[in-house]
Chains A and B, each alone.
Chain A
Amino acid sequence: MKFGKGLAASVSILLICMLTACGGSDTSGRVQIEFFQNKPEAKGSFDALIQKFNESQSDITVVQVNPPDAETVLKTRVVKDDIPDIVGMGATDTYSLLAQSGIFMDMTGSPLLSRIDETYVQMLKDVSGMEEVIGIPYSTNANGVMYNKDIFSKLGLSVPRTWDELLATAKKAKDGGTIPFYFTYKDDWQTVLPFNALASNLEGIEFYLDRREGKVTFADRYREIAEKQLELMEYGHGDNFGKNYADGNRAFARGESAMYIQGTWAISEIRKANPEAPIGFFPLPTGDDPESNKLISGVDTLLAVAEESKHKEEAMRFIEFLLEPENSKQYISEQTLFSTVQGVTQDDPAVAELLPYLERGQVVDFADHYIPAAVQLNSIIQSFLQNRDIDAYLKKLDTEWDKVADRR
């Protein structure tokens, strides 16, 4: 009896401890704001900005949450009706789904938007397919081909401007005993990068609007895209499907490959492994005409506030802080991204070659931002690159698209 009672007492004490531990976060009298963002690369940069913000405030504490597979975790949170106060995510199909379901605050007419380049506000509207502006675009990225300047000059290579030149460059690198492209296809999302460049350039974003109406099919229009992506695989390394994104960043930093099809977001990771890495960057050439070849660029992070947040005003204050030119500059410099804030420029020499494209507006959004997440494009492409069956691949894209459309 005594034993049982003792145990019962200890359990109740434990439970009470746990309860108070949960509710004890507000003892400082500060409002706690949860900032959920999906980029593991950016955790350090945001931590620094958050610390600066928290020190400047007497009544707000911002806490960052950055899980892997963040979109799934975020949707789990949404199902729980437990939406983080501020969500930082890319302008993807998941964003579109969440925006349409009305869980984020409508920012239309917010004074903060006046600081933002109009192009990117429009991009958000295009992705969400809504008239309202849901969220504030914060940074944009570019997706293309990174190259090792030292290897290029050693092998006498120049930056390719057409598809044929790209393959010729890769071949020369291979003949010179260097890995042309370091593929990192153990992570399925990496296989989408060449797809985005090829699809957005060769078929354009309009394809998806037509596809929604059933006017076109992947089978009709995506053969060239599939063939070209497969052709690139000739120029990989020995274990294309065994290495992941982190492996690739390390390998490219160590000069193991001449080129690396990647986004600008990886530059900060590469520099962590080798601060002196001689990085250059060019848009992936997809056809014969250099003038019409566009750079793939999309909203890397947008900041959305939960409609049901109890601290909207405080959340907006943090967003305003992030948008200050000084802070935006700090963020894009560390992350080698591009700012949406007018007047904030990216001066990193690694991406200097991309700036003319951005200035001229010779850019196009990521194709996969327009493909429903439930299609699971990543794994379809990853699978296709292994079994190399173009017909089955195109058919799969069509059937998966129709299946998901049928379910919505």
Chain B
Amino acid sequence: MRTRTNWLVMILIALGTVLILFPLYMTVTIALKSPEDMLTSVFGLPKELHFENFANAIAMTNFFNALGNSAMVTTATVVLTLLTNSLVAYAIARNMNRKFFKGLYFYFISAMFIPFPIIMLPLVKLTAGLNMTNLVGLTILHTVYALAFNVFVYVGYIKSIPVALEEAARVDGTSTWGTFWRIIFPIMAPINATVGILICLSTYNDFLLPLIIISDTDSYTLPLVQYIFQGQFNTDFNLAFASYLMAMLPMIIIYLFAQKWIINGITQGAVK
């Protein structure tokens, strides 16, 4: 039996999307207008498309350099996180009966409750002392801080994988490492997708950590660049919005293509 479409709800939902899309509509139109267009109409579509705003923003903010930095840090963090965090979680999940590993589990996940600002001040001194005020340092820190949440998610998932599979492999003489890479890691693909998406989003969009860690202008990430250029942006909104749009665009494009996959991944993590 098919029920009819609930038009009232559908209309409300459609109206709600206006609230979501309006700021984005403004971003796109302002990015394409000239300051003169803004004086005549703030809301309307641009009369002619001023793509030079994008060219100017690229030149001014050294956009491709920042994009490269963001892409490198994000990719390296995602890959490193998937490889290391899953491994740690595996060791813990399979030894939860031992005090040491059980202790580790709680040690890691308790960090979920540590607000970052608490360690911010000493961390700045520490990373400077270790020569980590660069993209490599940023990648390592992102990966380490991801452990807290990821151990929690991974352990839950690994527990649901039957031990029998590994025992069979062990009988065949496969080492623990081999068992993990050959048997467990592939099985973990769905949860890896979830973790990968979340880490990708949070690393790419992170502002506070790069703000306090990165010193060298050549290593600035995209959000940091938007912050650094506020002084110049304030006098030219069209330029500013062109820059904002470009900084958000890579994620939006990925989202357009992988939307269903991304949402399913996140849903998976929640339902577990």
Contact = CB atoms under 8 A, between A and B. Distances in A.
Given A21-B135, A82-B128, A7 B83 contact: yes
A81 B235 contact: no
B227 interface: yes
Interface in A220-273: 244-246, 249-250, 269, 272-273
A65 B217 contact: yes
A7 B79 contact: yes
B230 to A, nearest CB: 4
A8 interface: yes
Contacts of A158: none
Nearest to B185: A4
Contacts of B215: 77, 80, 82
A264 B217 CA distance: 29
A11 B227 contact: no
Given A4-B181, A14-B76, A76-B124, 7 more contacts: A22-B135, A43-B232, A67-B227, A76-B212, A79-B128, A80-B128, A244-B234
Nearest to A67: B228
A3 B82 CA distance: 12
A361 interface: no
B56 interface: no
A76 B120 CA distance: 11
A85 to B, nearest CB: 12
A408 B205 CA distance: 37
Contacts of B181: 1, 3-4
Nearest to B186: A3
Nearest to A13: B76
Interchain residue pairs A-B with the least CB separation, the first 10: A40-B231, A246-B234, A80-B128, A4-B181, A68-B230, A1-B181, A14-B76, A18-B135, A22-B134, A11-B79
B128 A10 contact: no
A21 B181 CA distance: 31
Interface string B59-86: 0000000000000110110011011000
A302 to B, nearest CB: 19
B47 interface: no
A18 B218 CA distance: 11
B227 A68 contact: yes
A66 interface: yes
Contacts of B228: 66-68
Given A7-B83, A79-B124, A22 B219 contact: yes
Given A1-B182, A18-B76, A66 B219 contact: no
A63 B186 CA distance: 48
A81 B126 CA distance: 11
B50 to A, nearest CB: 17
Contacts of A81: 125, 128-129
A25 interface: yes
B212 A11 contact: no
B121 to A, nearest CB: 8
20 contacts: A1-B182, A3-B181, A4-B181, A4-B185, A7-B83, A14-B76, A14-B79, A17-B72, A18-B72, A18-B134, A18-B136, A40-B231, A66-B231, A67-B227, A68-B230, A76-B212, A79-B124, A82-B133, A82-B215, A246-B234
Interface string B168-207: 0000000000100110011000000000000000000000
B48 interface: no
B76 A249 contact: no
Contacts of A77: 215
A269 B212 CA distance: 29
Interface of A: 1, 3-4, 7-8, 10-11, 14-15, 17-19, 21-22, 25, 40-41, 43, 63, 65-68, 76-77, 79-82, 244-246, 249-250, 269, 272-273
Interface string B124-142: 1101110001111001000
B78 to A, nearest CB: 10
B59 to A, nearest CB: 12
A32 to B, nearest CB: 10
- Indicate the member of B216, B227, B235 with the most A CB atoms within 10 Å: B235
Contact of A22 (B128, B216, B235): B216
Contact of A7 (B82, B135, B231): B82
A310 B87 CA distance: 43
A3 B182 CA distance: 9
A249 B134 CA distance: 37
A15 B76 contact: yes
A167 to B, nearest CB: 31
A379 to B, nearest CB: 18
B136 A19 contact: yes
Contact of A11 (B83, B134, B218, B219): B83
B178 A1 contact: yes
Interface in B109-156: 121, 124-125, 127-129, 133-136, 139
A8 B129 CA distance: 27
B112 to A, nearest CB: 25
B139 A245 contact: no
Contacts of B234: 40, 244-246
A18 B139 contact: yes
A7 B85 CA distance: 14
A25 B218 contact: yes
Given A15-B76, A68-B230, A80 B124 contact: yes
Contacts of B212: 76
- Indicate the member of B133, B178, B228 with the most A CB atoms within 10 Å: B228
B235 A273 contact: yes
A4 B139 CA distance: 19
A246 B135 contact: no
A245 to B, nearest CB: 7
